[in-house]
Chain A
Amino acid sequence: MIQFVLKNIGQRLVLLFFISIISHAIVHLAPGEPSLVDPSNPRMKAEDIQRIRAAFHLDEPLHIQYVYWMKDLFTGNLKSFKDNQPVLKKIWDRFLNSLPLFIVGTLITWFLAFPIGIQAALKRGSMFDKIGTFLSYALISIPGFFLSYICIIFMVKTFNVPVIGMRTFGLENAGIMLRSMDRVWHWTLPSLMSAVAGVAILSRYVRSQMLEVINQDYIRTARAKGLPETTVIYRHGLRNALLPFITMFGLTIPGLIGGSVIFETIFAWPGMGRLGFEAILARDFPVILTLNFISAILVLIGTFISDILYAVVDPRIKF
């Protein structure tokens, strides 16, 4: 077991090393430099650009720049090109903003997808199943921002509530009830929108897993023993159908950065995705690289945890 864990960690560290090299190369080899963002600014003189380039080590060869990046990252000295703030602190602040959205979105996804998927599998071919299938395809086919716009207009016109941003300005001195309601309204749409695609995909997946399990021999045996139907489905069926979802859980984590760019931009949510988007616009290489690196770490940790959990949960897996 320990050997398995150690080997697993070792492999992941090697992967991480290559990921960092590749992402560093991609970002630095692409044309366009931080000093070129604002070429029409008359106050930018040639020697200023030279100074900036020297300060950010942009004139060094690529592998030296990589060493600088890694060194600064691990000593915590990495500064953003844009405002000279420490990168890790910037990302941490934004991460704290993204986290509630991610948690609420994930909860909505898992709590909706499982009942829908299980019901669809149990009543295969029924109206519920057909409508559910069609709706889930429709929901993954609609451009996310288009759906968000429709929902924003609907929410604002029907309920007359604010939905953009994290909170309403000027409510800082209001009562605790009013303030928390305001927060909840601001959370609702962004987390729903980021959960929509997840619900659609996951419920289909739950359905096909359940269908596969329900036709197994041990389910027939359980029924033949005369167990009540709920026990058969939820204790004997669902437990076995759940196994692959341990893997899926690890794979939802990169959504924290990649998937949220669009929604955080629409809802003006100061989270990690938007930080990444702003960094791309400003050619803020340290922030882009570090975000990429962190999300790769998150993926690797996620898959590592799910590998271990899989081995713990499934008695058929031996080391």
Chain B
Amino acid sequence: MTETKNTQMVEGLKPTASLFEERWDIFKRNHLAYFSFIFLMVLFIFAIIGKILTRWVVLFDPKLVRLPEKFLPPLTPFTSKIIPTEEAPMFNMYILGTDELGRDLFARMLEGTSVSLTVGFIAVSISIFLGILFGGTAGYYGKFRWGFLTIDTIIMRFVDIMLCFPTFFLILTVVALLPPSIYNIMIIIGLTSWMGTARFVRAEFLSLRELDYVTAARSQAIPEWRIILIHMVPNAIAPVLVSATIGVATAILTESSLSFLGFGVQPPDATWGNILSDGKQFIFDAPWITFIPGFSILFVVLAFNLCGEGMREAFNPKLKEGV
């Protein structure tokens, strides 16, 4: 008697935590990953504030050249008599020093934060979009025939072809041949990195397609686009988001490598990558121009990687609560 009552009570109750909350608790137990997550959130706020303060309410001007003030080390107070006071840096101090043209490094880093993150995020958005498009089509409509080839064969062979190119060399070729522009860089990084996502999504879709809830949805004559976008994509998205987190890190690194070879985002737009590669000529005279962006990239990319890895572990269905 009591047993039935208990069962009824248990069945009547909602689960104490939703699936997402349960996974979130697992994620939080990984201190390194959780700390990285908070660090990234702070960084996003910093990037937005930086964008506002360097673009619209110009408190920190990254483009202001003060030639007499070049190569000042970090935390130098502003004492110049030559430069008019309205051109003095904020707080009357060069917080991170100045570069070879006397530009305030702090202002440039602030501007670079939002540009670098934008490059990473847009590139990854493009690659996720293409990955879901191709992977989803191959997984859901794979059996359709076009001549003697199935759609699945066509798409997956195309993925194989793309995987055979040496990625960095391909990016470099295209970036070098196209006119230099920040949009080209984002688009090309996105266009060359969708193959992994496509494989994930295809595999997920192949198994999801056979599940009961999809059959149920189909039996209710729900349109196919709705089944795919509203019922199937959210169930396949977890591994994609994890690889996207790591993808942002890779895109930031790729941009900095391109900057090193002179094909990155062009001045006057500042990114961490091109501040770093400009600074390398002055590594002995002004090491801070190299080390500040270098370590910023290191920490941010590290945070993205650790956060992505923590999420991968937390969202791994094999890992259950309490194990």
Contacts and interface: CB of A to CB of B under 8 A. Distances in A.
Interface of A: 15, 18-19, 22-23, 26-27, 30-32, 134, 137-138, 140-146, 149, 153, 254-255, 257-259, 261-262, 265, 273, 276-277, 280-281, 283, 288, 291-292, 295-296, 299-300
A152 to B, nearest CB: 9
Contacts of A142: 294, 297-298, 301
Interface string B9-52: 00000000000000000000000100000000000000000000
B256 A291 contact: no
B178 A19 contact: no
A26 B191 CA distance: 13
Contact of A15 (B164, B166, B256): B164
A149 B276 CA distance: 11
Interface string B269-282: 00001001100100
Contacts of A18: 157, 161
Contacts of A280: 172-173, 176-177
Interface of B: 32, 157, 160-161, 163-170, 172-174, 176-179, 249, 253, 256-257, 260-261, 273, 276-277, 280, 283, 290, 294, 297-298, 301-302, 304-306, 309
A208 to B, nearest CB: 11
> Among the interface residues B179, B260, B305, which one has the most CB atoms of the partner chain A within 10 A?
B260
13 contacts: A15-B164, A18-B161, A30-B178, A134-B32, A137-B302, A141-B297, A143-B260, A145-B256, A288-B173, A292-B169, A295-B164, A295-B166, A299-B163
B161 A19 contact: yes
Contacts of A259: 166, 168
Contact of B164 (A143, A277, A288, A296): A296
Given A15-B164, A280-B176, A295-B166, A143 B256 contact: yes
B166 A258 contact: yes
A145 B164 contact: no
Given A141-B301, A296-B165, A281 B176 contact: yes
A141 B305 contact: yes
